[in-house]
Structure 1
């Protein structure tokens, strides 16, 4: 399973703006710090504001803040919405000649659900650890160096 760029950048933005500070974050700052184009950052922030994950304010002193309730959202729920029903395989477009006798799609769909179920064990707040005014992203899952 590979996250699309929209999901990847959206998760980065959520984690970045989760760090509390007095002033709201700006699109320009997010784009620069996360190395995303301003247009792409604006599109993602707009989408997440419509989901009520972010609070946006226009005008002088405006910007982007995290809705505190978003920290309690399950990661699987967030990723499902961001991925927008992105399927691992598409059997109908173009039509696959094997689709009627193939069991692969069902297995892959089950694996995708297990992926989301695994993410649902965590909330956004679990992956954010403030460190002396800066942030580090620390996963509750131990990583293995190969």
Structure 2
């Protein structure tokens, strides 16, 4: 399985913020630190905020902070949230019927199970397990 850069940066943002939970991070400083596009990172931060993982505020002293305790943020849930519009294979997409093997294909059920197991395995860990920089929480 391959995660999108959107999910990769989402996890990095959360890990970084968990490392300094009392600090407000701006999109610009995180984009500089991660060496990525500010516009792309703004979309990531917006998605995390819209889903209750970050709190944001504008103006002087503004920025984003974690909205939840890192020990309560399960990694599989974050990946599932950020990858929600990315189908593992074409037939998983709504209306994805281009595969000529359907409906006799048995691979779809196996891939569905594998995807569920992947997320369940990630959910055995929380953001607190991968804080950056590493600190004792």
Higher helix share: 2
Equivalences for 1:1-146 in 2 at 5 Å? 1-20=1-20, 23-91=23-91, 93=96, 95-128=98-131, 135-136=133-134
Which structure: greater strand fraction? 1
- In structure 2, distance between residues paired with 1:38 and 1:128: 22
CA drift of 1:23 comes to 4.2
Asked which structure has the greater RCO (Cα within 8 Å, sep 6+), the reply is: 2
- Residue by residue over 1:94-115, the C-alpha shift from the partner in whole angstroms, topping out at 9 and shown as x without a partner, is 6111112110111111111110
Offset at residue 89 of structure 1 (A): 1.3
Q: Distance in 1 between matches of 2:71 and 2:11?
A: 12
Deviation at 1:22, TM superposition (A): 5.4
> Is 2:74–2:127's contact at 8 Å kept on the other side of the alignment?
yes
**Secondary structure of 2:86's aligned partner:** coil
**Structure 2: unaligned runs, 5 residues or longer:** none
Residue 93 of structure 1 and its aligned partner are, at CA, apart by: 3.6
Preserved CA contact (<8 Å) 2:17 2:23: no
Sort the Cα spacing of 1:21 and 1:119 in 2 relative to 1 into closer, same or farther, 3 A. closer
What's the CA shift string for 1:23-80, capped at 9, x where partnerless?
4111110001011100011111111111111111100111111123344121111111
CA distance in structure 1 between the partners assigned to 2:82 and 2:104 by the alignment: 31
User: For residues 23 and 74 of structure 1, do their structure 2 counterparts lie closer, same or farther at Cα, with a shift above 3 Å needed?
Assistant: closer
Count of aligned positions: 132
Unpaired runs of 5+ in structure 1? 130-134, 138-146
Indicate conservation of the 8 Å contact 1:53/1:70, yes or no. no
Per the alignment, in what secondary structure is the counterpart of residue 110 of structure 1? Answer: helix
TM-score, structure 2 normalization = 0.87
